[in-house]
Structure 1
Amino acid sequence: MRYTPADELKRRIARFQSMLRQEGLDGALIVQNADLFYFSGTIQRAHLYIPAEGKALLMVKRNLERARRESALEQIVPLDNPKELPAMLDAYGFGVPVRLGLELDVLPVVHFQRYQKLFAASRLEDASGLIRRARAVKTPFELERLAEAAELCRIVFGNVPRSLRAGMTELELAAEVEACFRRHGHQGLTRTRGFNMDISYGHTLSGANLAMPSFFEGPIGGVGLNPSFSMGSGTKAIGRDEPIMVDQVGIIDGYGVDKSRVFCMGRLPAHLERAHSVALEILAGIREKARPGVTGGELFAYALQKAKEYGLADHFMGHKEKVAFVGHGVGIELDELPVLAKGATMALEEGMVFALEPKFVFPEGAVGIEDTFVVGANGLERITSFDEGIIYLP
């Protein structure tokens, strides 16, 4: 089992502390699993206090032994009851924070109300934007984990042609894909920050099911198996001469990349082949234009304009229901910053990582591509790799 090194945690916390000071916050109290993992290296049930100045304090409800083994933070202490939080901060020299940051984008209201009572003398403010900005720029350590996740995807996608056969159901193919992921170290959980944005490993869909919109904020949906999780693979038999899209999140040591490829047994209609070529052109164009300082909104506008030039705007990023993005940040969560979306004003920075997914959706299916890239000083550098074209099988 691999743990996050102490110097890595120090760098992450120092970057965040600089943001806290710029915003005039005295500190931030962090409880959400993804953020806990990023700043402490563990997701044991705990409160992590990061002061604007000084060492972070991890206060653990359960399990203290595992937290001390998994986290390289210097100050890890037991916390029997959250009511002890103010006293604990005072005991470690932090006093009562005047302005206290919380993860208000994900924190349940009932928890927020408890913190209001506990920190009655403090002004509770939203620090989630700062946290997400800090996490958006990946460190070399994180990029190593993402490269390993990309290698996992390469292995799994390479196994698809050996698993695929006419007449098998989407669910059967998904089971083969997911089993391959697990055999090679996938953690079995895909984290998302968005409320109710549940997802498993990703999508394995075919034909008209690719055009079925769902609750999930994505260009393709699928019917799923039942209304409790009405997305993803269903019992539809996979046929010949129709698109099969494998859109999966490969995850190693908590870090995930997003990747899609189109397979087909036989041959796709000419209009789908043409649309796939346009998707590749959009991806190549964004790779040329994406530099530090360019906004996600500018890149989405370029992609949409290209789709219009080819007469494909009605099919770009959805059919019956569209999404207004062509890329999204990835890392510990599937929906990180930056977002290449309509009107997005966040500028790209060196070290940001995002999945770029130009796709076209038709009533009879969908085509397109998705790969994960890191923003370099001179442009995008590909993390995931595989044959970009439609992968035809006998």
Structure 2
Amino acid sequence: MDNFKRVQEINSKLNIDAVLISNGNNMRYISGFAGETGYVYISGNRHAVITDFRYTYQAEAEAEGYEIVTIGSGGYEEAIGNLIKSDNVKRLGFESEDMLFSDYEKLKNALDFAELVPIKDEITRLRRIKTPKELERIRIAESIGDKVFSEILNFIKPGVTELEVAARIEYLLKLYGGEKTSFPAIVASGVNSSMPHAVPTSKKIEKGDFVTMDFGCVYEGYCSDMTRTIVVGKATDKQKEIYNIVLEAQLAALDTLRAGLKGKDVDKVARDIIYNAGYEGCFGHGLGHSVGLFIHENPRLSATEEDIIEAGMVETVEPGIYIRGFGGVRIEDLVEVTENGIVNYTHSDKSLIEL
């Protein structure tokens, strides 16, 4: 079924005449238009991309079969108003979890002849289960990350800074086919590795450091995500202990994950291993998240996630242990969920690498 027809079904279910899609990833998913500015409009009678002159040609090329509306001096409010007046729309849905309040206020004042109806994440939820084509794009994106990890090991040595490693990773991701990074690369060494989302600094890598690298790229719109932690020099017994506990937790979660489980059920498997090993309070984030057109999607693998994980979803599995003043370990794979288990898209070595 064409994606705009799926949106029309949502309109009917919610008793709205049309919907205005503002989330950029949803716009691309529904229409194909990947421009940075605009809206997608879908009613029972028509489907259109509304954008400005900078993106008109792009919209015409990408949004096949869509009416393209280029705004004039009256801006988006006038263009949307003219569209829904001609379409006799009385109830217009909008993505209340994505639209800025200032944009909502402008629309509300300009469209006082129509009711604006919040639809929360109804459109976003359409993206949860990936098609075979989407899965293939994510798989390719992750394979680029595997190539980069293999090569970056030859670059890391004492004296090289975190910023230099991060820059090299981002360069290689693009060199091997990524359109862009799916998020700024995380490179954290030594005590900095105790921060799960550390920002790379000018700190020089030293012998004995943990080095955690978390990175991904975008391939044909779809994201990848992986993390590996290594040691520069010989690992201490404490480093080996922490690493092996995290690896045990990750392998157990990977072995458990399948369609039909709640996200919190999978999280608990890894969390129990880490907590029972004496590191309660050292794993403060969720086990994982969905990945697609956006790097952090739902449902998640977390201690509070009640949603069921379904076949065709793509999830990260990334337990960690983080010890203030010492360092930390995270190991992350990207997997496709199936009825019977997972297909792991990440193939980089997970044994403790000592450079």
TM-score by length of 2: 0.91
Aligned position for 1:177: 169
**Cα contact 1:149–1:251 (8 A) shared by 2:** yes
Query: Aligned match of 1:207 in 182, 190, 202?
Result: 190
Structure 1 stretches of 5 or more lacking a match? 1-9, 191-199, 213-219, 223-231, 317-321
- Supply the AA of the counterpart residue of 2:22: V
* In structure 1, distance between residues paired with 2:132 and 2:17: 29
Moved >4 Å (runs of 4+): none
Aligned position for 1:197: none
- Supply the AA of the counterpart residue of 1:38: Y
- Supply the AA of the counterpart residue of 1:304: R
Residue 245 of structure 1: how far off its partner (Å): 0.9
Q: How does 1:45-194 map to 2 (within 5 A)?
A: 45-51=37-43, 53-62=44-53, 63-80=55-72, 81-82=75-76, 83-91=78-86, 94-98=87-91, 100-190=92-182
- Identify if the C-alpha distance between structure 1 residues 122 and 247 changes in structure 2 by more than 3 Å, giving closer, same or farther: same
- Supply the AA of the counterpart residue of 1:87: N
**Cα contact 1:34–1:332 (8 A) shared by 2:** yes
Q: How does 1:5-20 map to 2 (within 5 A)?
A: 11-20=2-11
Q: CA RMSD in A?
A: 2.0
Superimposed CA distance per residue, residues 81-134 of structure 1 (whole angstroms, 9 cap, x where no aligned partner): 32131322343xx42142x32222221111101111233243323334212211
Q: 3-state DSSP class of the match of 1:315?
A: coil
Residue 303 of structure 1: how far off its partner (Å): 2.3
Superimposed CA distance per residue, residues 23-78 of structure 1 (whole angstroms, 9 cap, x where no aligned partner): 33333201232222222222333221123x45422223232122101222332233
Residue 12 of structure 1: how far off its partner (Å): 3.0
* In structure 2, distance between residues paired with 1:266 and 1:162: 14
* In structure 2, distance between residues paired with 1:303 and 1:20: 40
Aligned position for 1:4: none
* In structure 2, distance between residues paired with 1:123 and 1:147: 42
* In structure 2, distance between residues paired with 1:121 and 1:296: 43
2:236 counterpart of 1:269 = yes
**Cα contact 2:259–2:311 (8 A) shared by 1:** yes
**Cα contact 1:188–1:201 (8 A) shared by 2:** no
Q: 3-state DSSP class of the match of 2:202?
A: coil
Query: Aligned match of 2:29 in 11, 32, 38?
Result: 38
Aligned position for 1:283: 250
Q: 3-state DSSP class of the match of 1:174?
A: helix
Q: 3-state DSSP class of the match of 1:372?
A: strand
Q: 3-state DSSP class of the match of 2:225?
A: strand
Query: Aligned match of 2:335 in 373, 377, 380?
Result: 373
2:316 counterpart of 1:355 = yes
* In structure 2, distance between residues paired with 1:282 and 1:16: 40
Residue 360 of structure 1: how far off its partner (Å): 0.8
Query: Aligned match of 1:239 in 194, 206, 210?
Result: 206
Aligned position for 1:28: 19
Aligned position for 2:267: 300
Q: 3-state DSSP class of the match of 1:302?
A: helix
Residue 189 of structure 1: how far off its partner (Å): 4.8
**Cα contact 1:275–1:312 (8 A) shared by 2:** no
Q: 3-state DSSP class of the match of 2:38?
A: strand
* In structure 2, distance between residues paired with 1:275 and 1:163: 25
**Cα contact 1:242–1:267 (8 A) shared by 2:** no
- Supply the AA of the counterpart residue of 2:60: R
- Identify if the C-alpha distance between structure 1 residues 54 and 242 changes in structure 2 by more than 3 Å, giving closer, same or farther: same
- Identify if the C-alpha distance between structure 1 residues 373 and 269 changes in structure 2 by more than 3 Å, giving closer, same or farther: same
2:281 counterpart of 1:314 = yes
2:335 counterpart of 1:343 = no
Aligned residue pairs, count: 349
Residue 236 of structure 1: how far off its partner (Å): 0.8
* In structure 2, distance between residues paired with 1:287 and 1:21: 39
Q: 3-state DSSP class of the match of 2:186?
A: strand
Residue 348 of structure 1: how far off its partner (Å): 0.9
* In structure 2, distance between residues paired with 1:376 and 1:313: 31
Aligned position for 2:224: 257
**Cα contact 1:86–1:96 (8 A) shared by 2:** no
Q: 3-state DSSP class of the match of 1:130?
A: coil
**Cα contact 2:316–2:334 (8 A) shared by 1:** yes
Superimposed CA distance per residue, residues 324-357 of structure 1 (whole angstroms, 9 cap, x where no aligned partner): x110111111111111122211111111111111
- Identify if the C-alpha distance between structure 1 residues 125 and 384 changes in structure 2 by more than 3 Å, giving closer, same or farther: farther
- Identify if the C-alpha distance between structure 1 residues 41 and 294 changes in structure 2 by more than 3 Å, giving closer, same or farther: same
Residue 383 of structure 1: how far off its partner (Å): 1.6
* In structure 1, distance between residues paired with 2:89 and 2:301: 39
Deviates more, 1:55-64 or 1:383-392: 55-64
Aligned position for 1:391: 353
Superimposed CA distance per residue, residues 149-188 of structure 1 (whole angstroms, 9 cap, x where no aligned partner): 0111011111111111111111111121111112223233
- Supply the AA of the counterpart residue of 1:188: K
Structure 2 stretches of 5 or more lacking a match? none
* In structure 1, distance between residues paired with 2:248 and 2:2: 38
